């Protein structure tokens, strides 16, 4: 059984300005819908230092896509987030005050957020094999670099940098997701029903 793969790029999404004027966000997907999301994947352009919005009951994953990097200080603890070869995403609680300092000029960043009571999220490098849990309700492929996404015997999709490919109910589709590129940078993002296996980020 094949399924429809949705592809969205930040250039196709209207920017949402931040309340503090320090940047804007482009939401690539809000699952299951924009008003009652359990998972939200977005790309943010950070133009000035300042506080992040507080999201009660939300966990966040963060990666720098372009720029010199940032220093995030969550609840007084400082962490430096830069373009990292190991692709590890920085995680922090969205309900704790977090300030962002630019290490150079503006940055473009990937943000993944999940509401703890609504969803379980697993994030892996694109270099890892896809290992879906049986309860998976969504699977995304975010391209840090341009890649070709192959979905089993189905069509292949050319993903430009910073594009997201998304498949609903991937566990019901007999598709083998993989990317064709030397050492691709990017992430698999899987969402399951709340109460499934503990979330993790590789």
pLDDT for 195 equals 58
77 CB contacts (<8 Å, ≥6 apart)? none
Domains, the chain: 14-115 (2.60.120.10), 119-201 (2.60.120)
Q: Which parts of the chain have pLDDT scores under 50?
A: 1, 196-202
Q: Are 39 and 199 in contact (CB under 8 A)?
A: no
Strands (E), 39-106: 39-46, 50-51, 58-66, 70-74, 77-81, 90-93, 98-102
Is 5 buried (19+), middle (13-18) or exposed (0-12) by CB count in 10 A? buried
Parallel/antiparallel/unpaired status of strands 200-201 and 119-125: parallel
Using DSSP's 3-state secondary structure scheme, residue 172 falls into: helix
Using DSSP's 3-state secondary structure scheme, residue 39 falls into: strand
pLDDT for 86 equals 61
pLDDT for 48 equals 92
pLDDT for 170 equals 79
With b meaning 16 or more CB within 10 Å and e meaning fewer, what string describes 98-107?
bebebeeeeb
> What is the DSSP-derived secondary structure letter of residue 88?
P
């Amino acid at each position: 059984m094949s399924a429809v793969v949705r592809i969205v790029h930040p250039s196709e999404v209207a920017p949402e300005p931040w309340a503090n004027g320090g940047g804007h966000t482009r939401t690539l997907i809000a699952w299951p819908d924009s008003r009652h999301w359990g998972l939200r994947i977005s790309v943010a352009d950070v133009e000035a230092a300042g506080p992040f919005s507080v999201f009660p009951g939300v966990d966040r994953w963060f990666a720098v896509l372009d720029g010199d990097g940032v220093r995030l200080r969550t609840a007084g603890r400082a962490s430096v987030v830069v373009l990292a070869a190991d692709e590890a995403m920085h995680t922090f609680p969205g309900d704790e005050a977090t300030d962002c300092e630019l290490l150079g000029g503006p940055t473009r960043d990937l943000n993944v957020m999940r509401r703890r009571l609504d969803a379980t999220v697993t994030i892996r490098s694109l270099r890892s094999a896809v290992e879906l849990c049986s309860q998976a309700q969504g699977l995304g492929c975010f391209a840090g670099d341009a890649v070709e996404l192959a979905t089993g015997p189905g069509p292949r999709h050319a993903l430009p940098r910073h594009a997201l490919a998304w498949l609903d109910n991937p566990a019901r589709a007999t598709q083998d997701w993989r990317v064709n590129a030397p050492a691709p940078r990017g992430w698999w993002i899987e969402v399951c029903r709340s109460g499934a296996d503990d979330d993790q980020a590789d």
